[in-house]
Amino acid sequence: MQDSLCHGPFHCRAKIDTSATRSSGHIWVFSTAGAMETLQNDQRIWPNVWLRSIFTEEGETGWRTCGKQKAPETYGHAINQLSVMSLFLVNLYNQDAELRKQEIENRSLTENVTEYINQHYADSLTIDQLAEQFFVSKYHLMHEFSQKTGTSVYRYLMQQRLHAVCDLLERGTVPNEAYLLCGFKDYANFYRAFRSAYGQSPREYARAHRIAAEEPTAPDA
């Protein structure tokens, strides 16, 4: 489990991470549905509220409802409840970030970056953003990517955008709309990149594929 909550007066019990309770200024965080029985049978738990929040069972994530005992409606009591829930949610956020980082580390950097670009080529991606996304310096990212793929991150991104534009042109989208849908911000730069890659303008490409699509196919003999 995470150690992110284990600072100052707060302590985390090992192997426990998704439901929370409070006693004498300490936080206990539980990971299994079975841990709820421990919560309900533990005489030390905070008597006013316990949380049955996100739980994981057989790979599925869901929500348990909050169970509450009648509590005095005081401002201090409400603040204490909010403090526990806030710390709990911070812990979940940190766990999610750590899991994502571990997943990234289990695959090669190039695999992760290419997959991310394939899914986000229409966004305003930069080298700095990609480096931050994958917890590396931009110089390491550029070197590693070019070593594994033989091309730069920028050129790979441009290729994916141009392929996406071609797909839209073949389906009838006009060039003035297609380039914007695929992450290009300036038509002049897009036009130059397209002509350099395909030897014709976007309109010529669209026209050629439209004519090809309209040509009748030969009947079967």
What is the domain partition of the chain in residue ranges? Answer: 19-105, 109-214
Range name among 29-33, 81-85, 165-169, 194-198 with the lowest pLDDT average: 29-33
Q: Write the CB contacts of 208 (distance below 8 Å, at least 6 apart in sequence).
A: 200
Q: Tell me the whole-structure pTM to 2 decimals.
A: 0.51
The pLDDT assigned to 105 comes to 59
- What whole-number distance in Å separates Cα of residue 37 and Cα of residue 191? 65
Other beta carbons less than 10 A from residue 133's beta carbon: 16
pLDDT of 206 higher than 60: yes
What CA–CA distances, in Å, run from 26 to 46, 71, 91, 174? 10, 19, 14, 62
Of the candidate CATH numbers 3.40.50.970, 1.10.3720.10, 3.40.50.10470, 1.10.10.60, the domain formed by 109-214 belongs to 1.10.10.60
| 219: number of Cβ within 10 Å | 5
